């Protein structure tokens, strides 16, 4: 044997081993890929209340993922006290040895069986059959919703008006603000109720009569919309910008025939939508010149409304305006800190330069003739930095106001609620909030010191009905951290008189007897949009 052939024979050994290894690995890979993941089997509901004389009822189970083989789902059945198979109910497939076996085929994602109640015309009370998904053959496992309570409602005696819900909680998980969740549903069974049932959803949730139809916060279900005493209610979680984080509530059911009915718990997590920011406008007073630019009052409310969404308009057209200053106010952690310029509000009593200017809200808060809110938003927030330059004895200022356009159409303003800064005996100034008609003011004494920069949040919340709107003030000193979620206000006043729509922000120099600077003004409908 020559040297070359000897080398060839020796080298063929690892080649054969390599080929064998590849084949073995390939075979092992194929074996692993052919091992299916187990399918999870769950009941679609955890409780069913079925009238004794209603007959057959289909019950569904979900298989996820689809079954990879032909198989059998096994249900262990426990009969409640005095429940007799064949006398109170029968099933298909039948109950044998306390077990119901339901065959499934490869590819099934859903399977059903039936329970048929038997009206025995005997007053024997309500009864319960408990079905539990048992340990099954390889390839199937029971999910979290593995137990179903099948309640047989005795109809041989007239029961009290009542409803039964097939579940006690709908959990929608995470949903972004201004978007809709998937549609979930629950079944409502009523007994001894012939009148309408009104269903009310909590804030952030809506209900519908079909999965694809209209959804509302409140719906009425008349008797004719029930089939054998049952109907399905569809629910969506649709968080607005007013909902954030964990949102919980109760869906309430009301009828004339019962003082109270069962409620359904609903929960979801509202995720902040970056495109849903409701900050209405930002004013950093970043203008050149001596005076804050403001259009003259046209004398027409409709004309003023059109032009003052993105610019200021004068209330007193004969005045020079409000003075701009080069001093830049700063407050750590506030988005308006260290930006632009500031305005100086000061009325010396001569009426030579003082003015009031206003700017429209983008989102009006308006009500109908009964003072019920008909706008999308009910709350307005105005935040700004303020620095008191000088305290004048017995002087009162109302620098920032919320108001509306005068209803006589002349383009002037009506003041609805305002911030008050007042000095009585020197030293620090008191901070107050007021409704003017009739005057109703609450003060926090010695709240503001000369020379310090503060952050103020002015909040107005309009509510349905007369005499209950609220205005609040939140005050932060340098070094305070501004919370992401709204804290308790420093002071709150509730109106006792005239309530008007909120349409505009007004800077009022004519009532500024104390010299002060205002900067970094923000307007929004939610606390979180300010910060």
Q: In CATH, what number is assigned to the domain containing residue 210?
A: 2.60.40.10
Q: For 342, what's the count of Cα atoms within 13 Å in the CB-facing half-sphere?
A: 23
164 and 233 co-located in one domain: yes
Domain count, the chain: 3
363 and 474 co-located in one domain: yes
Among the candidates 272, 301, 328, a domain finishes at: 272
185 and 296 co-located in one domain: no
**Residue 308: per-residue pLDDT:** 65
**Residue 49: per-residue pLDDT:** 86
483 and 454 co-located in one domain: yes
pTM: 0.56
Query: Is residue 434 within 8 Å of residue 493, measured between CB atoms?
Result: yes
CA gap 462, 459 in Å, rounded: 10
17 within a domain of the structure (yes/no):
no
Predicted confidence (pLDDT) per residue in 452-505, tens digit? 999 999 998 888 877 788 899 999 999 998 887 889 999 998 886 666 777 778
Predicted confidence (pLDDT) per residue in 138-156, tens digit? 788 999 889 999 999 887 7
The CATH number that applies at residue 290 is 2.60.120.560
201 within a domain of the structure (yes/no):
yes
CA gap 21, 26 in Å, rounded: 8
Q: Outline where 281-363 has alpha helix (H).
A: 301-307
The CATH number that applies at residue 123 is 2.60.40.2030
Residue 234 has pLDDT above 90, yes or no: yes
Radius of gyration of the chain (CA): 35
Buried residues in 115-135 as b, exposed as e (16+ CB within 10 A): bebbeeeeebeebebebebbe
Q: Quick one: pLDDT band at residue 125, thresholds 50, 70, 90?
A: confident
79 within a domain of the structure (yes/no):
yes
Among the candidates 108, 125, 157, a domain finishes at: 157
Which residues touch 169 (CB under 8 Å, ≥6 apart)?
A: 264, 265, 266, 267
333 and 363 co-located in one domain: yes
384 and 494 co-located in one domain: yes
366 and 443 co-located in one domain: yes
460 within a domain of the structure (yes/no):
yes
Residue 128 has pLDDT above 80, yes or no: yes
Nearest to 125 by CA among 78, 82, 188: 82
153 and 163 co-located in one domain: no
23 within a domain of the structure (yes/no):
no
CA gap 261, 254 in Å, rounded: 7
413 within a domain of the structure (yes/no):
yes
What residues are paired with 133 via a beta bridge? 75
**Residue 242: per-residue pLDDT:** 73
331 and 233 co-located in one domain: no
Determine the average pLDDT of the residues in 311-339.
Answer: 84
Q: Is the dihedral of CA 430, 434, 439, 443 positive or negative?
A: negative
Strand order, beta sheet including 140-142: 89-92, 110-117, 56-64, 39-43, 140-142
Predicted confidence (pLDDT) per residue in 265-322, tens digit? 999 999 988 776 668 889 999 999 998 888 877 677 666 766 666 788 877 655 567 8
CA gap 55, 444 in Å, rounded: 69
510 and 402 co-located in one domain: yes
86 within a domain of the structure (yes/no):
yes
Domain with 113 in it: 38-157
Cα-based angle 21, 27, 31 (whole degrees, multiple of 5): 140
| Mean pLDDT estimate for the chain | 83
363 and 500 co-located in one domain: yes
CA gap 439, 3 in Å, rounded: 116
Identify the weakest region by mean pLDDT among 58-62, 141-145, 415-419.
415-419
CA gap 299, 260 in Å, rounded: 56
Query: Is residue 342 within 8 Å of residue 328, measured between CB atoms?
Result: yes
Among the candidates 255, 272, 289, a domain finishes at: 272
Query: Is residue 518 within 8 Å of residue 343, measured between CB atoms?
Result: yes
335 and 462 co-located in one domain: yes
26 within a domain of the structure (yes/no):
no
Residue 77 has pLDDT above 90, yes or no: yes
52: left (phi over 0), alpha (psi -120 to 50) or beta: alpha
């Amino acid at each position: 044997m020559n040297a070359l052939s000897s080398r060839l024979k020796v080298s063929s050994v690892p080649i054969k081993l390599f080929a064998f290894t590849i084949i073995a690995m390939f075979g092992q890979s194929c074996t692993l890929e052919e091992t299916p993941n187990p399918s999870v089997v769950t009941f679609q509901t955890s409780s069913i209340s079925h009238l004794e004389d209603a007959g057959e009822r289909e019950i569904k189970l979900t298989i996820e993922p689809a079954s990879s083989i032909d198989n059998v789902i096994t249900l262990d059945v426990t009969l409640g006290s005095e429940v007799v198979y064949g006398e109170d109910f029968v099933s298909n497939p039948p109950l044998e040895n306390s077990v119901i076996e339901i065959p499934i085929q490869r590819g099934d994602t859903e399977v059903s069986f039936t329970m048929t109640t038997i009206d025995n015309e005997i007053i024997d009370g309500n009864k319960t059959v408990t079905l539990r998904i048992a340990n099954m053959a390889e390839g199937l496992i029971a999910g979290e919703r593995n137990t179903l309570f099948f309640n047989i409602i005795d109809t041989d005696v007239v029961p009290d008006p009542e409803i039964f819900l097939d579940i006690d909680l709908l959990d929608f998980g995470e949903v972004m603000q201004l978007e809709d969740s998937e549609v979930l549903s629950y079944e409502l069974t009523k007994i001894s109720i012939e009148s309408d049932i009104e269903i009310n959803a909590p804030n952030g949730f809506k209900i519908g009569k079909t999965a694809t139809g209209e959804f509302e916060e409140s719906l009425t279900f008349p008797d004719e919309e029930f089939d054998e005493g049952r109907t399905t209610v569809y629910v969506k979680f649709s968080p607005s910008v007013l909902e954030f984080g964990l949102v919980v509530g109760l869906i309430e059911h009301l009828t004339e025939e019962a003082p109270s009915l069962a409620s359904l718990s609903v929960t979801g997590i509202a995720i902040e939508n970056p495109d849903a920011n409701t900050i209405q406008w930002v004013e950093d007073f970043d203008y050149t010149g001596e005076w804050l630019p403001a259009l003259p009052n046209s004398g027409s409310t409709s004309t003023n409304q059109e032009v003052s969404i993105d610019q200021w308009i004068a209330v007193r057209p004969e005045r020079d305006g409000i003075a701009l200053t080069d001093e830049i106010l700063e407050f750590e952690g506030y988005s308006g800190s260290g930006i632009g310029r500031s305005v100086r509000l000061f009325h010396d009593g001569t009426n030579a330069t003082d003015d009031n200017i206003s700017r429209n809200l983008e989102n009006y808060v308006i009500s109908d003739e009964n003072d019920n809110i008909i706008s999308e938003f009910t709350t307005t927030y105005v935040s700004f930095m303020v620095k008191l330059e000088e305290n004048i004895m017995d002087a009162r200022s109302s620098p920032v106001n919320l108001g509306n356009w005068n209803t006589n159409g002349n383009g002037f303003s009506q003041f609805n609620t305002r911030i008050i800064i007042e000095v009585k005996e020197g030293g620090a100034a008191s901070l107050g909030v007021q409704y003017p008609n009739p005057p109703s003011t609450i003060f926090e004494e010695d709240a503001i010191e000369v020379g310090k920069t503060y952050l103020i949040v002015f909040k107005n919340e309009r509510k349905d009905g007369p005499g209950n709107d609220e205005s609040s003030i939140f005050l932060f000193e340098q070094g305070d951290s501004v919370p992401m979620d709204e804290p308790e206000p420093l002071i709150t006043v509730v109106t006792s008189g005239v309530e008007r729509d909120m349409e505009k922000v007004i800077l009022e120099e004519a009532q500024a007897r104390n010299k002060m600077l205002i900067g970094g003004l923000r307007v929004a409908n939610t606390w979180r949009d300010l910060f």
